[in-house]
Structure 1
């Protein structure tokens, strides 16, 4: 079955069965299929067909999911656009992707717009869905931390492979109900939050803007079996007042990705709410996920689990040789989930995918039982007077302090040593520690050259649109630091 056929197939199998919902609508399978066919007709009337690109500039709603499947029905690709982008950033993505139509929630000054109201006003499209597995399905734009965002090209074969891996590893079935809280402009929200549960026969509730204080009200009302989030969300939930004691009995598991989750935070969240957290790892270039901690255990906090079924994940040295367990190198991935390439950037594609191996830019190692331990990003490594420092190691030590809510370490320019580590730290409510206490904590656990030269206290760490710590923003805040001892 091709993903574009899914709405029709679900409607034929169980017309009255639940499919998708958000804060304003609840659609069974038949109603969802009708909405998709009407949206497809509206897109077709605008000339959209095989090979075109449809941009979705929409918040998290059922409308997004409808438009996604409508474009795929016609053989078109979708590029999701972050609604928080500036006009210039939006226009850059639309131009780079070659978008023929932009679907918006309300009328817009952008050229070629089509509102969700117009999508719902057309008669139903009667043509059979396009079913080419090699057709481009998604253009996911990277966060652009190393320059202008790049369009990651994922075809339908990529999506089908990734969803199959998710269904197998998480044992998703028709009984599952995904609560989507991650943004739909990111591949995790689309593939993990929507496609995988729908392909498994389950259903999806699309939450609006995430608010920690109301999240568990939604859990108790919707009764989901699973959700996916980033460490910042788990941190906010773990810090809710003690009187918040929700019924979480419906939830089988929660997934975590986008950034490493401190083991202490996993332990706090699981102990408080009784929900197992499956930490995993992956990239948009790998259609979302490449490793995960197993549902049935043993789960190992501090690792991102084992390779997912159908993928090869290895650690490679600078000469392209795969190294044995225990040795550190670059994490590489191979499998049917690896992207087609970067849109219009053949040289960057050739650097990223070599002999079928996707080079992630992450440093890691496998332990003796095949669990992947991430060390850090290659580009985030700090070189202090010739000594290599991986910020994640320092961040983990800081995160183990009972007063620390979250921490990030970046390199600051130093006239003598080149770079020195500076830590940005957010404390837990009511914490009494100071910079001296945190530095003493680090000195007891780290070699001297790894200890931060400065601690900067912040209310919260800045995040990029997909929930990762915005380290470029933190580096911009650093100034030259002179080591005094």
Structure 2
């Protein structure tokens, strides 16, 4: 339960050397949330920053757990544990559908993912990764720590992303790449025009965790001079499954092609494979697919069927094999029998002048079943009218896809990983409509 610091990485490797597994806990969790993760995972030792009040958390551990400050002991003399099938990481999902579930990743999963990432991202010993994402998430651990270290390259750990110091860090540290979420890139792209950093050391930025608009990707590269390479993945797939190729066509608005060693497919509700261009659920197969959910065999059986991971994401594959994500299966809006994918509307709204980010949810409607509700946040110093936003949507979206209501707010709520929190938006809508 550590913030981003080198001791997190040391403790992780120490646990693996002993043959133990780790579960990273977000330090910002409430006692109730942290206790769920510790009790569900069966944790025996909590590692936390000295002086932080965690008595409620510690009390949730088994009676035999070590309590108090860890003391230096004799150097570990045994041979390092070496079992590819041993549990390595328990990553807890963000809990968008109930209590968070523990994703079991073994050493074979991690080794496969690190190897695929080194190849796809062309990581060499000369590279230098700047870590700004949280280490309690699989992206931070795999993409920004394990992948570069396994290539013999360097990592600089920052406590968190800070828009005030990010480019100063880039100019001073001269990293060759970093990984971030669309919200971070949108904030950087919205900086005043006079901000012109020296970003020449950066070969690329990895963009993942949530879909980004094609406009953001192209606008960012044009402004800062290095490309954003969009990929797609989830904790259940040990971080990543597709990426836009480095030596090939990068299609803005898509999340690229499968990593070497992985396969993807699109299926309908009955599990039937769909042809290129058709929209359905995204399935993933490969050595990166999780062992299952800890203590939840029934959930595991529903999620991994015949070796294929059912992601719950909606997408389509084009004729060239590039995947596009259009939303979550449970986020799809059905208005009067028509399927509406939130990302299409979100992309249209973020293309409006001055708009920083947008999110779309479905709201119940007596006759239509559901209607489209949109939330929009403008960049600092920018503003617009509802009439302008509605006119913008009318020029880009057919009538049934247009938002029935657009709410302009200061900023969109985010979860701990930086994704827009649509559960909070739904709560906001329910409170507004009652």
* Structure 1, gaps ≥5 residues long: 1-56
CA distance in 2, matches of 1:469, 1:427: 15
CA distance in 1, matches of 2:238, 2:430: 37
Q: Which residue of 1 aligns with 2:234?
A: 283
**2:193 & 2:351 partners in 1: Cα distance?**
21
Tell me whether 1:386 sits opposite 2:337 in the alignment: yes
Q: Which residue of 1 aligns with 2:328?
A: 377
**Distance (whole Å) between structure 1 residues aligned to residue 66 and residue 181 of structure 2:** 32
Q: TM-score, normalised by structure 2?
A: 0.95
Structure 1 SS opposite 2:165: helix
Q: 1:51-130 maps to which residues of 2 (within 5 A)? A: 57-107=1-51, 108-109=54-55, 110-111=58-59, 112=65, 118=70, 121-130=72-81
CA-CA distance at 1:375 after TM superposition: 1.5
Q: 1:323 aligns with which of 274, 295, 298?
A: 274
Matched, 1:422 2:373: yes
Compared with structure 1, are the counterparts of its residues 93 and 479 closer, same or farther at alpha carbon in structure 2 (3 Å cutoff)? closer
In the TM superposition, residue 327 of structure 1 has moved relative to its aligned partner by: 1.5
2:243 alignment partner in structure 1: 292
Is 1:463 matched up with 2:414?
yes
Distance verdict in 2 for CA 1:417–1:480, change over 3 Å: farther
Give per-residue Cα distances to partners, 1:28-49, cap 9 Å, x unaligned: xxxxxxxxxxxxxxxxxxxxxx
Q: CA deviation at 1:72?
A: 0.3
**Alignment match, 2:396:** 445
Shift of 1:201: 0.8
**What SS does structure 1 have at the residue aligned with 2:15?**
helix
CA contact (8 A) 1:414 1:480 kept: no
In the alignment, what sits opposite 1:247? 198
Match of 2:23, SS state, is: strand
Deviation at 1:424, TM superposition (A): 0.3
CA distance in 2, matches of 1:83, 1:447: 44
Alpha-carbon distance, 1:404 to partner: 1.2
Q: TM-score, normalised by structure 1?
A: 0.85
C-alpha distance in 2 between matches for 1:337 and 1:190: 15
What root-mean-square deviation, in Å, do the aligned CA atoms of Structure 1 and Structure 2 show?
1.5
Give the drift of 1:479.
Answer: 3.9
Stretch moving more, 93-102 or 414-423 = 414-423
Cα 1:131–1:403 shift into 2, 3 Å:
same
* Deviation at residue 432 of structure 1 after TM alignment: 4.0
Give the deviation of 1:403 after TM superposition.
2.0
How many residues matched? 424
Trace 1:59-458 onto structure 2 (pairs within 5 A): 59-107=3-51, 108-109=54-55, 110-111=58-59, 112=65, 118=70, 121-458=72-409
Q: Structure 2: state its 5+ residue gaps.
A: 60-64
Does the 8 Å contact 1:375/1:393 carry over to 2? yes
Q: Report the secondary structure of 2:316's partner residue.
A: strand
Shift of 1:431: 2.7
Q: Secondary structure, in 3 states, of the residue corresponding to 1:255?
A: strand
Instruction: Check conservation: 1:328, 1:363, Cα contact below 8 A.
Output: yes
Q: Is the 8 A contact 2:123 2:151 kept in 1?
A: yes
What's the CA shift for 1:335? Answer: 0.4
**Contact 1:280/1:305 (<8 A) preserved:** yes
Q: What CA distance in whole angstroms lies between the structure 1 residues aligned with 2:226 and 2:37?
A: 38
Whole-Å separation in 2 of the counterparts to 1:447 and 1:190: 42
Deviations 1:14-70 (A, max 9, x none): xxxxxxxxxxxxxxxxxxxxxxxxxxxxxxxxxxxxxxxxxxx00000010000000
| SS at structure 2 position matched to 1:102 | coil
Are the counterparts in 2 of residues 415 and 480 from structure 1 also a CA contact under 8 Å?
A: no
Cα-to-partner distance string for 1:216-275 (whole Å, 9 max, x where unaligned) = 111111111110000011011111122221111111111011100111111221111111
What is the distance in 1 between the residues matched to 2:151 and 2:337?
A: 51
1:416 and 1:316 mapped to 2: Cα distance? 29
Contact 2:187 2:356 in 1 (8 A): no
Provide Cα deviations, 1:110-168, integer angstroms capped at 9, x if missing partner.
Answer: 144667x736x334212211000000000000000100000000000000000000000
Q: Give the Cα separation in 2 of the matches to 1:204 and 1:248.
A: 17
Distance verdict in 2 for CA 1:317–1:458, change over 3 Å: same
Cα displacement string for residues 409-445 of structure 1 (whole angstroms, at most 9, x for unaligned residues)? 0012223322211110011233342111111111111
Distance 2:33 2:349 in 1: 35
